[in-house]
Amino acid sequence: MPHVSRVLDYLLGGTANTEADRQVAEHAFAGWPGEVGGVDGVRLDIGSARRALERIVTYLVSEAGVGQFLDIASGLPTMGNVHLTAQSLDPAAKVVYVDNDPVVVDYSRQLLSDSGAQHVWYLGNDMHDPAAILAEAGRHLDFDRPVGLVLFGILHFIDDDAVAGKLARQLHDALCPGSYVAVSHFARADGDQAMDETFEQLNQQWGESITRRTRAQVEALLEPLQLVTPGIVELPDWRPPAAHTGPRPLPMWCGLAVKA
């Protein structure tokens, strides 16, 4: 049976997927919006998000000296995910992944075991229960030392701003000063009615609830943390290695904030 985590792996160019996953991807994303659109547009968007995450993790390990990460709603640990980037720079880096889907958790644990990954754990917990996440993650991570909390592609599934901000704050409140929070979030511009209508149709089609937010709304979700330069920007604009060329991905904010 197809599964969203393996569909994502396929769209990223991975091999941890089946023919059923590939067929679903080609069909489900045929109407994806954006400058490119369709399945190719989805690949552009997902690839841009993954590369931004890789740049953020590289900064955290190489420049901020962070050696442990808590990545919530991470999907399968393949294709440039956090531990692959972090441990390429610091083999002793520790990574705890969290997902609320038992299929994702079981398959990810199998993939990590098969690959011989060290210092990496996969937990079955839900973003809506930060206390449980922190309790289990605390068995593997030292919360008295800085942690990189990764909330990529999760907060836009929480439609209430107050709830999204509260959950994020409950997580980073448990971290010591010098810890960081990395986010990505579907972007919304005022008066962007056509894209609003497109996402409403997609939400009905997929049974999901994606809430796009403005830059200011995403910044508010990270209060009272301090934004790291360049702040909340679109994916290709977070410390790119070179000037971006070619088609732009669908607008999605990303950024990094530090706990003083």
Q: What is the pLDDT of residue 207?
A: 58
pLDDT of residue 67: 98
Mean pLDDT, residues 97-116 taken together = 92
Nearest-10 crossing angle of helices 38-62, 19-28: 110
Q: What is the C-alpha to C-alpha distance for residues 70 and 127, in angstroms, rounded to an integer?
A: 12
Fold of 44-258: Rossmann fold (3.40.50)
68-87 pLDDT, tens per residue? Answer: 999 999 888 887 899 999 99
Question: Residues of the chain with pLDDT > 70: what percent?
Answer: 94
The residue ranges of every structural domain in the chain are 44-258
Q: What is the pLDDT of residue 220?
A: 97
Residue 24 has what pLDDT?
82
Q: What is the pLDDT of residue 259?
A: 98
Average pLDDT, the chain: 90
pTM, rounded to two decimals? 0.89
Token digits of residue 25 = 């991807």
pLDDT of residue 210: 82
What is residue 3's three-state secondary structure?
A: coil
Q: Which residue has the tokens 């996402």?
A: 199
What was the pLDDT predicted at 191? 64
Q: pLDDT by residue (tens digit) across 25-65?
A: 888 778 777 778 888 888 888 889 999 999 999 999 999 99
Query: What average pLDDT score do residues 94-119 get?
Result: 93
> What integer pLDDT is reported at residue 202 of this predicted model?
66
Tokens of 91: 């083999």
Does residue 175 register a pLDDT over 80? yes
Task: Output the pLDDT for position 75.
Answer: 83
Q: Determine the pLDDT at residue 215.
A: 95
pLDDT at residue 34 in the model: 76
Q: Highest mean pLDDT: which of 42-51, 76-85, 98-107, 155-164?
A: 155-164
Residue 250 confidence class, pLDDT cut points 50, 70, 90? confident
Q: How confident is the model at residue 10 (pLDDT cuts 50, 70, 90)?
A: confident
Copy the structure tokens of residue 205.
């089609």
Give the range among 129-133, 208-212, 252-256 with minimum mean pLDDT. 208-212
Tokens of 112: 């990590």
Q: Compute, in degrees rounded to 10, the torsion defined by CA atoms 218, 34, 194, 151.
A: -20
